[in-house]
A and B are shown apart, each in its own frame.
Chain A
Amino acid sequence: MSDRQSSNAYWQANLRIIYICLAIWALVSYGFGIILRPLLSGISVGGTDLGFWFAQQGSILCFIALIFFYTWRMNRLDAEHGVDE
């Protein structure tokens, strides 16, 4: 496998991970926190509903988890493709 092919495969794999992460990013904030909140209104959390919790707490916690997941996954990908530092 030439360098070019390898770096192309590396980039495609990176993009796939980014797409997955961004889908979750949008789901927990714009989805659960705002647009889908009426659907979650049946699940009550401390005097209000799950959508309110996602808007004020849950989305932030998910964002942190997402960044560390991405970091861990990319470090592995960098090593697999031999482009780590």
Chain B
Amino acid sequence: MSQFTLNLLVICASFALYIGIAIYCRAKSTAEFYAANRGVGPVMNGMATAADWMSAASFISMAGLIAFTGYDNSTYLMGWTGGYVLLALLLAPYLRKFGKFTVPEFIGDRFYSRTARIIGVICLLIVSITYVIGQMTGVGVTFSRYLEVSNATGLWIGAALVFCYAVLGGMKGITYTQVAQYVVLIIAYTIPAVFISLQLTGNFLPPLGLFGTHEGSGVAFLAQLDGLVTDLGFRAYTEHHNSTLDMVLFTMALMIGTAGLPHVIIRFFTVPKVSDARKSAGWALVFIALLYTVAPAVGSMARFNLTATMWPGAAQGETFSQPAVSLADIETSEDLAWMRNWQTTGLLNWEDKNGDGLIQYYNDGAAAQATALAAARTSGDQAAIDAAQAAYDARLAETHAALPGAPAAEQNWVGNELTTVNNDIMVLANPEIANLPGWVIAIVAAGGLAAALSTAAGLLLAISGAVSHDLIKGTLRPNISEKGELMAARVSMAASILVATLLGLNPPGFAAQTVALAFGLAASSIFPVLMMGIFSKRVGKEGAIAGMIAGMLSTILYIFAYKGWFFIAGTNMFPDTPDAWLFGISPASFGTVGAVINFAVAFGVSAVSKRPPAHVQELVESIRVPRGAGGAVAH
């Protein structure tokens, strides 16, 4: 059976399962549509939350981010899991006790203000829609690689599929579909990791293999990896290089951003009891940790295997004991077919710059100079080309002199010849790099799709709830019937699928930056207002509204100032480099500062405005005690 047929078979089988579940669990009431009738047990809900949370970014991108940066990107591992502690301790049990359907509804009731509720809806929509676009793009890429269709066709197939089970099933259908998707994605992630860990370290548990001994050389695996990458002029894998302050702030932004993501929070509305909300956050983290403790092993081992592919000597720990991989091998060898497959997607590329028939992969440290040289060549000005060429050669000579023990001079290297390696291919290409059987590759494809689709469905549910429940029922047409509201929820979900697909078809080229925006906004607007709503009786509507606006605006302005207005290239006011950042704080980390601004403004304004009315004080008293949650009704 060909690899293509195998991929098709496994992917179609997984889809048949999801749609079957959705049809079986069709939602009939608004309570079922928004909160699955609050009948989902904590373990099941934890598994669904894990699938909901782990998106294409966790499944496809994260290990690649760690692979090429090493220790410094541990921020993703800590940040995307530590948020669950905040959820379990500070938000989930109280919001479950409150007993309504959406996050803006809590903001509106607690701060007795329709304006606050609408601002909440706006934050939620910006956060969720930017996220859905990222998922749809991921679906398009995965389909086009594995089903060999165009990116656009892949996107429409994905959209149709999400439409089927999210619109019909609502929260009830989505919950059980997500449980199935979790099982598919965790199997897909761990099977190749177990094989690769066994090959490299002889330990079948990847988290232990990561700290184990490399089979080929008998040296500790991470020490071996450090040695190989520094031989090639890269920074040591396990060392800390970036600013400590920025690392702390970025981790914090990811943690409070996670706790403030509406589609994660609404999952805790579906459990029967307050104590189940706490327990469910714990189970969610257990299921997430299964992937997150494996991811650093996947990243480091993928980096090792890539290096050993480019430098066959590296497999025994001696980088330069054998010459680099030859161009002829890359173009014809059966083992390296994956390189040719990925080259067609444009995510991997190479060029024999010095014409010696070998592809030397190393850090030439001259990426900026190479870009300048290419720009000079397009301008056609001979003097500029000569100057750029001289700068490039000088930089190259500098790196070559610093390379430890590299035969750069005698072998006449003229720059890194593995010209493109996209972070995102590491997880998907991993089984092929390690020569694993075809069925493993097919399962990884199905797992990537499960991760993207389950998150897209959860986000769409949060969006449709905000539109139909908060905007239409809460503001525009309070008298709408339950049937009408259910219809409005489904129509708004279908509309958001359409919008996300259209935006995914014409990616504005900012998928990566928008993630910073989504987390920054969730961290700076939603998380602080929810926390103050529960833990302070003093903060009233004036404080909450002023705080949300201050937190949101400062974060948006800071990101746009460095990334360009609405991410349009060239409109940024300052260069996006660590030297230009305020106190060295990167735009992606600014959500933490935005949250601090939000808290400060809210408490400042509350100190000079009226205390919240008595019924709100009682509401806060009541959400603080678990008893009576079962009696809290939908309306």
Contact = CB atoms under 8 A, between A and B. Distances in A.
Interface string A34-55: 1101000000011111001101
A10 B84 contact: no
A58 to B, nearest CB: 10
A60 B77 contact: yes
Contacts of B212: 46
A36 to B, nearest CB: 11
A64 interface: yes
Interface string B277-313: 0110110011001001100100000000000000000
A70 B221 contact: no
Interface in A8-62: 10-11, 14, 18, 21-22, 25, 29-30, 33-35, 37, 45-49, 52-53, 55-57, 59-61
Interface in B520-546: none
A68 B252 CA distance: 22
Which DSSP category, helix, strand, loop or mixed, fits chain B's interface?
Answer: helix
Interface residues of A, number: 41
A80 to B, nearest CB: 13
B77 A85 contact: no
Contact of A29 (B88, B221, B251, B281): B251
Given A57-B296, A63-B84, A85-B630, A11 B624 contact: yes
Interface in A58-85: 59-61, 63-64, 66-68, 70-71, 74-75, 78, 82-85
Contacts of A48: 211, 220, 222-223, 226, 238
Given A34-B247, A47-B211, A60-B77, A85 B82 contact: no
B244 to A, nearest CB: 6
A53 B208 CA distance: 11
Interface string B566-593: 0000000000000000000000000000
Contacts of B77: 55-56, 59-60
A47 B220 contact: yes
Contacts of A22: 85, 89
Contact of A61 (B90, B226, B244, B289): B289
Given A52-B238, A74-B275, A85-B273, A67 B221 contact: no
Contacts of A53: 211
Given A21-B85, A60-B289, A85-B627, A30 B251 contact: yes
Given A34-B244, A74-B275, A55 B223 contact: no
Contact of A67 (B84, B213, B219, B252): B84
Residue of B84, B89, B289 with most partner-chain A CB within 10 A: B89
Given A29-B251, A67-B278, A47 B285 contact: no
Given A29-B78, A47-B220, A47-B222, A78 B85 contact: no
Contacts of A60: 77-78, 81, 285, 289, 292-293
Which DSSP category, helix, strand, loop or mixed, fits chain A's interface?
Answer: helix
A46 B210 contact: yes
Nearest to A65: B282
Contacts of B240: 34, 37
Given A37-B240, A48-B238, A64-B289, A55 B78 contact: yes
B431 interface: no
B89 to A, nearest CB: 5
B296 A63 contact: no
Interface in B611-625: 621, 624-625
A35 B252 CA distance: 13
A28 B368 CA distance: 38
A74 B630 CA distance: 18
A45 B625 contact: no
Nearest to A30: B248
B365 interface: no
Contact of B89 (A33, A47, A61, A70): A70
Contact of B275 (A14, A34, A71): A71
Contacts of A35: 244, 248
Given A30-B251, A33-B74, A46-B210, A63 B285 contact: yes
Contacts of B625: 7, 10, 83
A29 B292 CA distance: 15
A53 B293 CA distance: 11
B88 A67 contact: yes
Residue of A7, A14, A37, A71 with most partner-chain B CB within 10 A: A71
A15 to B, nearest CB: 8
Nearest to B240: A37
A18 B82 contact: no
11 contacts: A22-B89, A25-B85, A47-B224, A47-B238, A52-B238, A57-B210, A67-B85, A71-B282, A74-B278, A85-B626, A85-B628
Given A59-B78, A74-B93, 13 more contacts: A21-B85, A21-B89, A22-B85, A25-B82, A48-B220, A53-B211, A60-B289, A61-B289, A64-B285, A67-B85, A67-B285, A71-B275, A75-B275
In the A-B complex, the 6 residue pairs with the smallest Cβ-Cβ separation, listed nearest first, are A46-B211, A47-B220, A47-B223, A47-B222, A55-B74, A67-B282
